[in-house]
Structure 1
Amino acid sequence: MARTATSKAIERLQQQASAVRLAAEAYDNEVVRACAVAAADTIQAIADKRERDEPILELAANASDTELREARLHQAVRRGLDVYLPICREDHTGMPNLLLRSALFSAANHADEAVSEETIASQGDTSITLTGFRLTGYDKRVFAACLDHYRQMCPLSAPQEFQWIRISYWQFAKALDVEPGPNVFKAVRTSLIRLNAAHLRLRIRRRDIPLPRLIEVAFDDGHDATSGKSQVKGADMIAFRILDTMANLFGPQQWTAVSKSALHDFSGLPAWLASFYSTHAKPYPLQVSDLWRYSGVVCDLREFRRRLKTALEKLQGEDIPAAIRVAGYELQGTVITVHLKRWET
């Protein structure tokens, strides 16, 4: 993957700052020298800010594995030609905030409904447009299981290369924490097809983000495309890859380590809420109507309020892991403020 224009611009700014600072040393006039040094500091500050905003941190091609691992604790990283996603604890999956704070993986059950250039409700200064099939919470689980394979030292795939991850249906079912069986294999296959067909146009903070597809997938199984009958077995294979453009969604503070309990222990609105609030670090008031849009739930606003209270109460159970447990919530008129247990420490 070639270096981005932004990365080259940052390097030029850094070179200019060094040049101005070097030139400042040639001035005998103390005032002029101080002004030149101040100008160099300003240019360097601009470069530093742009570097912080750049989603993919560039390391030298000969950077050590230790340097790479430390950098990946914060964001996506490029070392040489290889691009890596961030790393997190084994019982968590790193996922982009943009997707979790939107109706892309909605709490509604409308799988296999095709859309074209549909605007997806999302939080903040972001824009998502989907062409393909509408996605659900189950698709989020399947997508997370695919992202998990890039946790360690496996780089994302470059478009011109053919780096595929191969996994059996049985292994995929175990990754989803479900018992393998024909119905599960069929659901996994169907979900991967939906994810493969999802074409997104993304814009974050007035900047377009290239992302041709969420995932590319191929099958080596017993599915009969002519009759539509599926004879998929647990030993049959799935091949998938996630392209290095995905790294553009994993910049500093643009991704969240989501606990496996948030991904696998719930469905519907509770599952969506668990992921959504995982991406935030403190309580804040939010319009109920905004949550309604972001969640993608198909019902009127009054019914959503009822479902929202039921879902939040379900997430308050003592058996709910502390990482996603709701400590309480305040519903005042049209505004709700949710408090998580982990925010109390």
Structure 2
Amino acid sequence: MHDQIPIPFEPEDHEPGRSIDKVLDQIRKRHEEVAIARGIPRPANGKPLPNDILRSALFGVSERAFRREEKIASLEGLEVFMVRGYRPTQAHLDVWEHCLELAARHGTGKQIRFSAYSFLKAIGRSTGKSDYEWLKEAIHDLAGCLVRISNGRYSYFGTLIQEGFRDEETNEYVISINERLALLFMGDNWTALDFEERRRLRKRPLAQWLHAFYSTHAQPYPYKVETIRRLCGSEVEELWKFRQLLRRALAELESVTGWSCTIDKNDCVVVVKKPSCPCIAS
């Protein structure tokens, strides 16, 4: 009698739900692999940033402070946490925005080389000694900023800049951006900010935050003043005082963008955009 050769059969799955879940997991994994391979988008105009970040107080308007495991205010459906590090400001967003643009050109997860001079010129900053030091500190802050961001389906946890190297004599940098940051751009869930408009709002952090936030909206929803105060990360406790600051910031935003920006009788911020604004990707 000859020994039978065992034939490896897949175990029969008697639970149809589990089979469906397995297929869906494989599809999701494939979509993630494609998104990572595609990397960060390169729009014809503007610099791409994830909506999930612009719709939160992660890059807020408050002064920096060391944070450890703090939930950051965000729109419903988003969860944003500062796990560790110095909470970034709108000035940090200028730096991170250009880092992502460089990553879009050269590839996430790859070495990105640049000089401090070229970087500062690209973001519209001066190139004096204090600016070189400011850039160094900003990059260090972003490299040490550990975050968790979830939009209900996809989550990213890691630093905003993965790692880096700096030549102290030549002021040249080599950095890398975590390739999984590309997952935050899936489903066209990103916005290309108008760099020139943002530059004209420099040193006005609340107006810059409003510009980034409303750039993610094709047709802005009327948010309560209190909601805007929470979402931008303002530390102004008196609502009436924040409302005064907000009115000034909205006037600045309106002057730069041409949008209509008001606070209505219901204490809601109403922003009406020009038709076919090119900065919105979704």
TM-score (norm 2): 0.82
Alpha-carbon contact 1:217-1:238 (below 8 Å) kept: no
Tell me: CA distance 1:262–1:84, structure 2 relative to 1, closer, same or farther (3 Å): same
Paired amino acid for 1:9:
V
What secondary structure, in the 3-state scheme, does the structure 1 residue paired with 2:42 have?
coil
What secondary structure, in the 3-state scheme, does the structure 1 residue paired with 2:270 have?
strand
* 1:98 and 2:52 aligned: yes
Q: How far apart, in 2, do the equivalents of 1:286 and 1:342 lie?
A: 20
Alpha-carbon contact 2:162-2:177 (below 8 Å) kept: yes
Tell me: CA distance 1:328–1:202, structure 2 relative to 1, closer, same or farther (3 Å): closer
Deviation of the 1:287 alpha carbon: 1.3
> Could you list the per-position Cα deviations for residues 152-191 of structure 1 after superposition, in whole angstroms to 9, with x for gaps in the alignment?
4x3211xxxxx31111110111111122111111111111
Tell me: CA distance 1:11–1:286, structure 2 relative to 1, closer, same or farther (3 Å): closer
Alpha-carbon contact 2:103-2:112 (below 8 Å) kept: no
Which residue number corresponds to residue 95 of structure 2?
142
* 1:334 and 2:264 aligned: no
> Could you list the per-position Cα deviations for residues 92-127 of structure 1 after superposition, in whole angstroms to 9, with x for gaps in the alignment?
11100011111110122x13x211001100112111
* 1:88 and 2:43 aligned: yes
Q: How far apart, in 2, do the equivalents of 1:273 and 1:239 lie?
A: 32
What secondary structure, in the 3-state scheme, does the structure 1 residue paired with 2:137 have?
helix
Alpha-carbon contact 2:40-2:185 (below 8 Å) kept: yes
Paired amino acid for 1:240:
I
Q: Equivalent of 1:200, from 147, 153, 170?
A: 147
Structure 2 runs not aligned, ≥5 long: 1-19
> Could you list the per-position Cα deviations for residues 234-274 of structure 1 after superposition, in whole angstroms to 9, with x for gaps in the alignment?
x4111111111101100114111111024322131011101
1:31-46 alignment runs, 5 A limit: none
Q: Equivalent of 2:165, from 216, 219, 230?
A: 219
> Could you list the per-position Cα deviations for residues 283-323 of structure 1 after superposition, in whole angstroms to 9, with x for gaps in the alignment?
32111111101111221221111111111111222xx2xxx
Q: Which runs of 4+ in 1 moved over 3 A?
A: 54-57, 342-345
What secondary structure, in the 3-state scheme, does the structure 2 residue paired with 1:105 have?
coil
TM-score (norm 1): 0.68
* 1:129 and 2:81 aligned: yes
Paired amino acid for 1:313:
A
* 1:209 and 2:209 aligned: no
Q: How far apart, in 2, do the equivalents of 1:343 and 1:334 lie?
A: 27
Q: How far apart, in 2, do the equivalents of 1:268 and 1:314 lie?
A: 11
* 1:256 and 2:191 aligned: yes
Q: Percent identity?
A: 26
Alpha-carbon contact 2:247-2:263 (below 8 Å) kept: no
Which residue number corresponds to residue 212 of structure 2?
275
1:33-182 alignment runs, 5 A limit: 56=32, 58=34, 77-78=35-36, 82-89=37-44, 91-108=45-62, 110-111=63-64, 113-130=65-82, 131-152=84-105, 154-157=106-109, 163-182=110-129
Deviation of the 1:11 alpha carbon: 8.4
Q: How far apart, in 1, do the equivalents of 2:124 and 2:165 lie?
A: 21
Deviation of the 1:325 alpha carbon: 2.9
How many correspondences in the alignment? Answer: 255
Tell me: CA distance 1:125–1:172, structure 2 relative to 1, closer, same or farther (3 Å): same
Tell me: CA distance 1:7–1:144, structure 2 relative to 1, closer, same or farther (3 Å): farther
Tell me: CA distance 1:302–1:212, structure 2 relative to 1, closer, same or farther (3 Å): same
What secondary structure, in the 3-state scheme, does the structure 1 residue paired with 2:198 have?
helix
Q: How far apart, in 2, do the equivalents of 1:135 and 1:7 lie?
A: 38
> Could you list the per-position Cα deviations for residues 7-26 of structure 1 after superposition, in whole angstroms to 9, with x for gaps in the alignment?
973486xxxxxxxxxxxxxx
Q: How far apart, in 1, do the equivalents of 2:212 and 2:144 lie?
A: 23
* 1:238 and 2:173 aligned: yes
Alpha-carbon contact 1:85-1:156 (below 8 Å) kept: yes
Which residue number corresponds to residue 228 of structure 1?
none
Q: How far apart, in 2, do the equivalents of 1:143 and 1:325 lie?
A: 26
Calculate the aligned-residue CA RMSD, in Å. Answer: 2.6
* 1:247 and 2:193 aligned: no
Alpha-carbon contact 1:55-1:248 (below 8 Å) kept: no
